[in-house]
Amino acid sequence: MSVCSRRARFLVVSKKLVLGGALTVAVMGCHGAPSAPLLPSSSETSKRVEDPAAILKAGQAALAASDYPAAEVRFRHLLARSEQEKPAQIGLAEVLFQTGRLTELLELSRKEGLTLWEGRALLALGRPEEVTRLAGGEGDPILLELLRGEAYLELGRRADAEEIFQKLTTGWPRSDGTPLAPELAERQRAVARAAFLLRDPKLADRLFGEARELGPRTSPSRLWEAELYLERHDVEGALSILGDFLEHAPNHPEALLLLAQLKRVEHFDFVLAEGLAQRALEISPNHPSALFTLGAIALVDLDFAEVEKFVARGLGRNPRSLELLALRAATALLAERPEEFERLEKEFRTLAPDSARLLSITSELAEWEHRYSDIETLTRRAARLDPKDPVVRSRLALTLLRSGSEAQGLVELRRAFALDPYDVRTYNSLTLFEDIIPEEYETHEVGIFRFRFPKAEAKLLLRYVPELASAAISEFEKRYQMRAPRPITIELYKSRQDFAVRTSGLTHVGLEGVCFGQRIAALTPAAGPGNLGMTLWHELAHVFHLTASAGRIPRWLTEGFAEWETERLDRGWGREAERALFIAERKGSLPGLFQMNRAFTRARNHNDIRAAYLASGALARFIDETRPELFPAWLRELGARKPAADVLRSSLPDPDAFMSDFQRFLRARLQRFETQFILDEPEGLTGAQLSPVDSVGSEDAARFAREESAFALAAAGELAEAQRALFDLWESSPNPRVGLALARLALQARDPDGARELLDRSIELGPDGVELRLERARLAAMTRDFSALRTHARRATELDPQEIEAWALLASAEHQVGTRAMEIDALARWAELDEGSAVPHVRLIELLLEAGRSAEAAKAADRALWVALGDARLHELAARAFEKAGNRKRAAFERETVGIIEGEGPSRAPAGAR
């Protein structure tokens, strides 16, 4: 595909990370597969022992595999014997560099004339001026010139750097179509990097492409291409290189840190990014990029003291690390210390006059805390300072598009595209705004709102969305005693891809809605299942929070109160999943008041994210019910630019006592789970049991260790061995955890009788738990044992009244045995809990109408419409329910909606006509 022609609709990047075992090795801190013996054993021939070429080859192989201790032993052995000295010196130099022993590396390289490694040591120590003066000595002249150019960039002297890069790229022979000699691959990648730093994206892309399959797979120069992909937000391209590289060199610190950057910036996977950075520090202590990663993660936690610890530690090695100095400035900005920020920026400019890195890094770090106004200011200043930086231009463009300045944003997008047509976010955003939105979307202004709807859905959306949005604004103006900002823009997108590109520039984003201050983006009913009403109410609450606090409200606080705003409506729009909250509380993963952001940043999976929303929502509810004056006051003080921690402390002199009161409030709600059998990950085979144990003796610990071993076998796919181990445990000390695992294995083996026996025995053993009952109910449904299905589904609803699947199974059982009244009761509870599926709502309305309970049917219909706004069948049922209840006007409105959905409606339905 020709990127410049922009023929493709979007550049799609993979949302999955597949790195096999290499990533696990990297994060767990292992050293990869065992290397060969450090030196040949005494059983080998003396010729083999004395062969320096063989020792050198083994050392180089260990170095390529990132087994630095083994490589170092071999290289030092050769140097002690004065054999293979030069290659051994170069090998040892790389070991010292990768393990962060820079002073020793500097001494070695100067003593032995290793100019290239001397330059790398100097640059890593923060002495770029000395690097610019290096010349001659041992080392590839192209690599040395590249290093000198990078030193000039560190000094903020781009013109001098570009002079060097220009010479490198113009002096390199153009390809005549013949394959590149493998020994030239390293040099060509160096020239490709020069082109990348020169901001010649097409040349960089071509040169990297020609060298891609040549040279060693673990050559550090391959990471330059990964860095190029990361700057362009090409996740798939970066992962293809990093995955292959780490498979062969799992302990390479630079590769680990590039992957950490990808996980932090593109996936917001702070847990994995933190693990990768910590692993890099084990290999290379005080590595500035590793400390930057950890500091950036601490910053999204708003733990400013922890950020400074990482910054100070890194500056101890490299006192002019630009990224760490930028992190310190970003901390000052987010901590509401504007004078300190300005001072740090001036100091930065004396170190690197032409560099916009401080402004660029600060704007990126401010995004997590939705400082959209600050981001626009920072990116505008960065663009003035370095107008040819495509990353800065792209960020400025997206910032303007989010703020509502679409005309200016498009201008900046075109500039960014001209600078780098391969940037995925730039390409996708330009495609959306130039090609897709003008053709497939339309704009409407209603009251204080500006709406962007897909043309095909605009008639339907205009009938419902403005009325709901107006109701939300009226409610929030009363609650927060403030006037809503004007205008408020609501953009609804007809596909997840369009929505993802609008909000991130990429084609995948795991969200239903996003608020950028006065602008909201969400999905239409055509984009898939989801409750549009719930999403809009939640996001409109954010509008008030962000406006009142001038964008300074911590993430946990705005998410928590937006959750509470939807729950308190009593429309079934809450996230009723208290069992997940109990699991988080029991595991101790709910942080304290001043660390609540960690509930979001340390989420490992969907369950953790859900628990973060539940916990913040529960805390918001507790605040609103016990101290209702706090939140409005907090918003006002945050809006006055007071630091969030100071705001909380000023109104809560004893935060620990406050959180203790909250925990008591929470435990009262979760008390029913205390005596139940609960699994951490109920859908898996190996979830950890969380049932309380007053004391764990050595026998219990030994049994648990055996269980874990068996579960590890199952996770590795060794199901037969896992089953044998679990049966041994079952025979010696049966318990529900082992019984459930064996039952699931029996079901996989198509042995329903065996599974039933195991589950019944597990329930008999106790303690009882919803996972056991659900598994037993599923088995009963599969075998069409409706009596058992009814029994176990009902028990599951008693154990956890918020378990949607239990109510669905119970409704199915009541339907099968023909007890309509009880089916209605089960459906009503299912519908109340499930805000995202039309199935229980449709069936409930049908049965209520059949039973002549028209008032209840009308109420159920009113609650159901937002669950599936584009479902004609649901609107037809609603029309029947309203008509039976005597509301003929509403019935006519819903029948007209049916016609619109089916393509027979009026050309334009007035907003809120019902």
Look at 67-76, 187-196, 708-717 and tell me which has the smallest mean pLDDT. 708-717
- Look at residue 5 and tell me whether its pLDDT is greater than 80: no
Q: Of the residues 617, 638, 673, which one is the last residue of a structural domain? A: 673
Whether 660 maps to a domain, the answer reads yes
Q: Which residue from 571, 674, 668, 580 is spatially nearest to 626, judged by alpha carbons?
A: 668
Better-scored residue on pLDDT, 185 or 682 = 185
Q: What is the pLDDT of residue 873?
A: 96
Residue 669 sits in the same domain as residue 707: no
Distance of alpha carbon 59 from alpha carbon 69, whole angstroms: 10
The amino acid that residue 112 corresponds to is E
CATH code, domain carrying 716: 1.25.40
Q: Is the same domain home to 571 and 709? A: no
Residues 633 and 738 in one domain: no
Is the pLDDT at 301 greater than 50, yes or no? yes
Q: What's the mean per-residue pLDDT of the chain? A: 90
831 neighbors 844 (Cβ within 8 angstroms)? yes
**Together in a domain, 668 and 688:** no
pLDDT value at position 710? 86
Pair (614, 596) in one structural domain: yes
Q: How far apart are CA 513 and CA 492, in angstroms?
A: 9
pLDDT at 910: 35
**Range of lowest pLDDT (18-32, 33-47, 284-298, 847-861):** 18-32
The rounded distance, in Å, linking the Cα atoms of 538 and 514 is 10
Phi, psi dihedrals of residue 655, rounded to the nearest 5°:
-60, -35
Strand, coil or helix: 490? strand
In this structure, is residue 735 part of a structural domain? yes
Do 736 and 772 contact (CB within 8 A), yes or no? yes
Asked if residue 270 is part of any domain, the answer here is no
Domain annotation covers residue 709: yes
* Structure confidence at residue 730 as a pLDDT band (50, 70, 90): very high
* 590, 596, 597, 601 alpha-carbon torsion, rounded to 10°: -10
Q: With b meaning 16 or more CB within 10 Å and e meaning fewer, what string describes 99-129?
A: bbbbeebbebbeebebbbbbbbbbbbbbbbe
Q: Indicate whether 292 pLDDT > 70.
A: yes
Range of weakest confidence among 161-175, 768-782, 819-833: 161-175
Domain check: are 580 and 462 in the same one?
yes
Per-residue H/E/C for 575-625: CCCHHHHHHHHHCCCCCCHHHCCHHHHCCCCHHHHHHHHHHHHHHHHHHHH
pLDDT value at 7 more than 50: no
The pLDDT tens digits of the residues spanning 524-536 come to 999 988 899 999 9
Residues 649 and 760 in one domain: no
Same domain, 654 and 735: no
The helix or strand, by DSSP H or E, that contains position 297, with its residue range, turns out to be helix 288-300
- What is the reported pLDDT for 556? 95
Structure tokens at 529: 């299942």
Same domain membership, residue 577 and residue 484: yes
Of 673, 690, 720, the position where a domain reaches its end is 673
For residues 619 and 624, give the distance between their C-alpha atoms in angstroms, rounded to a whole number. 9
Is 510 in the same domain as 623? yes
What pLDDT digit, counting tens, does each position of 88-109 carry?
A: 999 999 999 999 999 999 999 9
pLDDT of residue 584: 84
Task: Answer yes or no: is 506 within a domain.
Answer: yes
Overall average pLDDT of the 452-469 stretch? 98
Same domain flag for 599 and 504? yes
Is there a domain that residue 376 lies in? no
For 662-686, write each residue's pLDDT tens digit: 999 999 999 999 999 998 764 455 4
**Which residue range forms the structural domain that includes residue 449?**
437-673
Task: Please give the share of the chain, as a percent, with pLDDT higher than 70.
Answer: 90
Mean pLDDT is lowest, of 367-381, 596-610, 630-644, 694-708, for 694-708
Tens-digit pLDDT profile for residues 810-848: 999 999 998 999 999 999 999 999 988 999 999 999 999
pLDDT over 80 (residue 365) = yes
In a domain, 857, yes or no: no
DSSP string, 627-685: -TTHHHHHHHHHHTT--HHHHHHHH-S-HHHHHHHHHHHHHHHHGGGTTS--BSSTTSS
The whole-angstrom separation of Cα 498 and Cα 506 is 9
Q: At what angle do helices 752-765 and 736-748 cross, to 10 degrees?
A: 170
**Predicted local distance difference test score (pLDDT) of residue 904:** 54
627 and 514 in a common domain? yes
Boundary of a domain, candidates 673, 691, 715: 673
689 beta partners? 679
The domain that holds 563 is classified in CATH as 1.10.390
Question: Which residues does 279 contact at the CB level (< 8 Å), separation at least 6?
Answer: 26, 27, 29, 251, 256
Residue 79 tokens read as 């140097």
HSE, CB side, 13 Å, CA atoms: give it for residue 498.
Answer: 25
Structural domains in the chain (count): 2
pTM of the model: 0.89
* 595 occurs within a structural domain: yes
Lowest-pLDDT choice from 319-323, 386-390, 537-541, 832-836: 832-836
Q: What is the pLDDT of residues 318-329, one digit of tens each?
A: 999 999 999 999
Tokens of 92: 């040892």
Q: Please determine, for residue 304, whether its predicted confidence score (pLDDT) is greater than 80.
A: yes
